[in-house]
Structure 1
Amino acid sequence: MTDDDGRTGTITPAAFHAATDVAQWRVTSTGPQAVWRSPSLRDTAALVGDILDAAERFGILPDIDLRPEAVVVRVPYRDLDGIPARCPAFAAAVSAAATQRGLVADPSLVQTVGVYVAQHSGVDSRPFFLAALGYDPLGDTDAVDPLRAGPPLAFNPITGDAPGRGRTHFDVFVPADQARARVDAALAAGGRLADDSYAPRWWSLASPDNHGVDIACWTDTFD
């Protein structure tokens, strides 16, 4: 299917970042996202009309999170196909409006926290979590809050572990240019580097009492 302006289908994070005037945006596991700091809730709310105008113009369905300190704008994945091809134009329009209103982008506040449920290869835990959390399935292995307010869940089998033992850790998706600082901060706070063999795509860390956290940024650079 071809849009009126010739853009078609979906694009990758790398293609999104290669577009014009999207430098204030990053791509996490849930899609493109930007955060602008603001001095007051009224100032953040003033941007909403601009976001809605851009959304209608480019056919995008964004999530908008208003806080007294900042406004968060996301273009969430509603399926697993990729980023809408019209998203860069939408992102550029919102960035221009935010800049005109004097809001300051802060990529260090961009992140998505997910829960990684590791399960024995003979067990399917997803139906239980769907029922208990009221989540919807996404693809064959994931689950999402219908309103995208709670953290997404991913379910993946593990081998070589005792059946009946559940293992879960957090996935923290941050911009590629913020990942190393987040890892260093976690290590300085008493964490332990469990595995960096996949760095700089992600680092596996452990808390002092061995809870797992992956700091991941591969979604921001994937092509």
Structure 2
Amino acid sequence: MTESITPAAFHRAPGVEAWRVTGSGPHAVFTAASLADAARLVAPITAAAERFDVLPDIDVRPEAVVVRIPNRGDDGIPAAATGFAAEVSQAAAGLGLAADPSRAQTVGIYVAQHSRADVRPFFLAALGYEELGETDAVDPLRTGPQLAFNPIDGDNPGRGRTHFDVFVPADHAQARVDAALAAGGRLVDDAHAPAWWSLASPDNHGVDIASWTDTFD
């Protein structure tokens, strides 16, 4: 098994200031002026990936390059991710691509299984997803949201049973919560803040704003 580290240990490494750890692993966003501008970072990312034996996901858009070191199975963050992240950050700076940590996020869907029904097989078939561990499901190419399944007894009167998990950087979580509340949401539970806040939309759909993945040690 590859040696793994915690999110807090990742952040203690030098040169990774542009990175945040969201629900899918270490994550950085480097802004660009055009698609061609963004594409210039692909070759340095590829070289760093080979040097550190890391398998990143790269999303090249006209506005930005999104780089993720995805969690593959239950192994967590590979220790080599710190060197890879530092080298990518240095390459981006050399190309004039500024980091924007506030735009790093991942979204998951938490599917409540009423009366403890096993609904994962249905979602795997309907979405073309694959099993992840004993409870989750993932898009094989990691482009769609991860699903987590939670057996429940009865209904939760506070909000709908299925909700979104939005994983954001720890230093931007409170601002995201404040923005959601200002946009008409309501606070359901902040007992676990700043690890996560449970919110509800005006029509009672649930959203958890979570930052614990960025700080866990």
Deviations 1:22-42 (A, max 9, x none): 000000110000001111111
The match for 1:53 is 47
| Residue 129 of structure 1: aligned partner | 123
Paired position in structure 2 for 1:198? 192
State the TM-score, normalizing by the size of structure 2: 0.96
Could you tell me which runs of 5 or more consecutive residues in structure 1 were left unpaired when the two chains were aligned.
2-7
SS in structure 2 of the partner of residue 104 of structure 1: coil
Deviations 1:101-138 (CA, angstroms, capped at 9, x unpaired):
00110011000010000113531111110011000000
- 1:91, 1:216 → 2: CA distance? 23
TM-score normalised over the length of structure 1: 0.93
How much has 1:81 moved relative to structure 2? 1.8
Structure-2 separation of matches of 1:120 and 1:81: 30
Q: CA RMSD in A?
A: 1.3
Give a deviation string over 1:128-170, Cα, whole Å, max 9, x none.
Answer: 10011000000111000000000000001122439xxx82111
Q: CA separation in 2, counterparts of 1:84 and 1:33?
A: 13
Maintained 8 Å contact 2:115/2:154: no
* In 2, Cα distance between equivalents of 1:138 and 1:216: 20
Alignment-derived partner of residue 4 in structure 1: none
What is the number of equivalent residue pairs in this alignment? 214
Amino acid at match of 1:55: A
Give the structure 2 partner of residue 87 of structure 1: 81
1:163-202 correspondence runs (5 A):
167-202=161-196
Matched to 1:167, the amino acid is R
1:56-135 matched pairs, under 5 angstroms: 56-135=50-129
Q: CA separation in 2, counterparts of 1:112 and 1:183? A: 15
Alignment counterpart, residue 10 of structure 1, candidates 4, 7, 10: 4
CA–CA distance in structure 2, aligned partners of residues 76 and 100 of structure 1: 25
| Structure-2 residue corresponding to 1:210 | 204
SS in 1 for 2:90: helix
CA displacement, residues 25-81 of structure 1 (integer Å, 9 cap, x when unaligned): 000110000001111111100000000000000000100001101000000011112
Aligned-pair identity in percent equals 73
In 1, Cα distance between equivalents of 2:138 and 2:154: 28
Distance 1:158 1:198 in 2: 20
Given the alignment of the two structures, is residue 41 of structure 1 paired with residue 22 of structure 2, yes or no?
no
Partners of 2:77 and 2:193 lie apart in 1 by 24
One-letter amino acid of the structure 2 residue matched with residue 114 of structure 1: G
Q: Corresponding residue for 1:219?
A: 213
Separation (CA, whole Å) in 1 of partners of 2:190 and 2:7: 23
Write the distance in 1 (CA, Å) between the matches of 2:97 and 2:131.
36
Amino acid of the residue matched to residue 40 of structure 2?
A
* Residues 167, 211 of structure 2: 8 Å contact kept: yes
CA distance in 1, matches of 2:40, 2:116: 52
2:15 maps to what in 1?
21
